[in-house]
């Protein structure tokens, strides 16, 4: 059933590709069809879904026993135990609920850097994660942020909506400055339901990222940060006397490239990444560095799986 669905969707997806290339293809869809997003937190969905939670509920999955108290539903009493022990115990089952998966894609001008661009890479990751979530009947909320409130499409559920996801992603362009603090504050205000929040960004925010991430933590979401960097940023191939122009705010920096400067830049970038990673670790957020040179399927099938994002 799943294979058939993916096959049909795959043929459709080939027509819904980004300007830089296809976001997903049949082969890759077959590989991720059986994956699902993992949340480490107890998440309360509003309606029943297909995802088991640690919350006790009415699924067929046994969870635990507890002693009967007055008022409990007698249908849940385990009569076999009562026969052996002459004490009333309730049989508890895990609750199956729907999972809210928020995918926030950074669409600032800096994400257009690189070849392929960081935005294209982010789109592909977002499309894959959205597909995984939709396939598990999770509720997917896709948003694109620069500064101010994120531009979102409505919540979607079910694999049939993947085309809408791809259409939304394909229309995203990199422009404007990054203002993640404003964007995440707006997001936190408008989405109070706990869920998974996946942020795809280069985090090149001159306003800093700590304040912005606090808004996500305030909502008790299970937060995953996927830090996308291009090889040109990791190992810049620059030389000579240059005026570096910031693509977001046209800020300039006059530099003369030298070996010590390149070395210092790499040290600064490493410190920036480490700082962000440690910040996330201290606050139970999951940080994943994803250079665009890392093959996309390796990131999804291997890298995210090992980091516990999907299983």
Nearest approach, Cβ of 166 to other proteins (angstroms)? 25
Chain centroid, CA 222 distance in Å:
9
Distance (Å, whole) CA 149 – CA 199: 14
Nearest approach, Cβ of 247 to other proteins (angstroms)? 5
* Residue 254 engages other proteins in binding (rule: CB under 8 A): yes
Residue 89 or 203: the one with the smaller Cβ distance to other proteins is 203
Nearest approach, Cβ of 289 to other proteins (angstroms)? 15
Chain centroid, CA 6 distance in Å:
21
Find the angle CA(187)-CA(191)-CA(197) to the nearest 5 degrees. Answer: 70
* Residue 88 engages other proteins in binding (rule: CB under 8 A): no
User: Among 63, 247, 289, 294, which residue interacts with other proteins (rule: CB under 8 A)?
Assistant: 247
Contacts of 226 (CB under 8 A, 6+ apart): 122, 125, 198, 199, 200, 201, 288, 290
Give the range of 53-61, 142-150, 193-201, 230-238 binding other proteins by CB under 8 A.
230-238
Give the range of 32-40, 129-137, 155-163, 249-257 binding other proteins by CB under 8 A.
249-257
User: Among 39, 146, 161, 230, which residue interacts with other proteins (rule: CB under 8 A)?
Assistant: 230
Measured CA to CA in angstroms, residue 291 lies from 182, 186, 228, 280, 299 at distances of: 26, 28, 5, 18, 10
Distance (Å, whole) CA 126 – CA 121: 9
Q: What are the residues binding other proteins (CB under 8 A)?
A: 110-111, 113, 118, 202, 204, 206, 230, 233, 236, 238-248, 251-262, 264-265, 267-269, 272
């Amino acid at each position: 059933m799943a294979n058939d669905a993916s096959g049909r969707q795959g043929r459709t997806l080939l027509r819904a590709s980004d300007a830089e290339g296809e976001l997903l293809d049949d082969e890759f869809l077959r590989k991720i069809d059986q994956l699902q997003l993992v949340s480490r937190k107890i998440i309360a969905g509003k309606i029943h879904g297909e995802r088991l939670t640690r919350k006790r509920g009415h699924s067929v999955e046994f969870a635990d026993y507890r002693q009967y108290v007055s008022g409990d539903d007698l249908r849940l009493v385990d009569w076999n135990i009562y026969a052996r022990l002459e004490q009333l115990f309730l049989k508890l089952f895990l609750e199956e609920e729907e999972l809210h998966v928020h995918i926030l894609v950074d669409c600032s001008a800096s994400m257009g850097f690189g070849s392929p661009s960081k935005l294209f890479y982010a789109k592909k990751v977002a499309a894959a994660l959205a597909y995984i979530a939709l396939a598990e009947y999770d509720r997917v909320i896709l948003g694109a942020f620069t500064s101010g409130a994120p531009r979102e499409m409505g919540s979607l559920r079910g694999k049939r909506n993947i085309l809408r996801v791809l259409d939304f992603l394909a229309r995203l362009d990199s422009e404007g400055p990054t203002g993640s603090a404003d964007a995440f504050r707006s997001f936190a205000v408008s989405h109070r339901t706990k869920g998974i929040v996946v942020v795809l960004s280069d985090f090149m925010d001159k306003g800093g990222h700590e304040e912005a991430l606090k808004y996500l933590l305030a909502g008790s979401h299970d937060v995953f940060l996927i830090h996308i960097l291009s090889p040109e940023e990791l190992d810049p191939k620059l030389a000579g006397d240059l005026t570096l122009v910031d693509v977001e705010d046209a800020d300039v920096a006059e530099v003369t490239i030298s070996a010590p400067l390149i070395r210092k830049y790499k040290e600064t970038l490493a410190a920036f990444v480490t700082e962000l990673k440690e910040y996330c670790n201290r606050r139970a957020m999951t940080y994943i560095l994803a250079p665009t040179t890392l093959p996309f399927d390796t990131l999804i099938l291997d890298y995210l799986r090992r980091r516990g994002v999907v299983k």
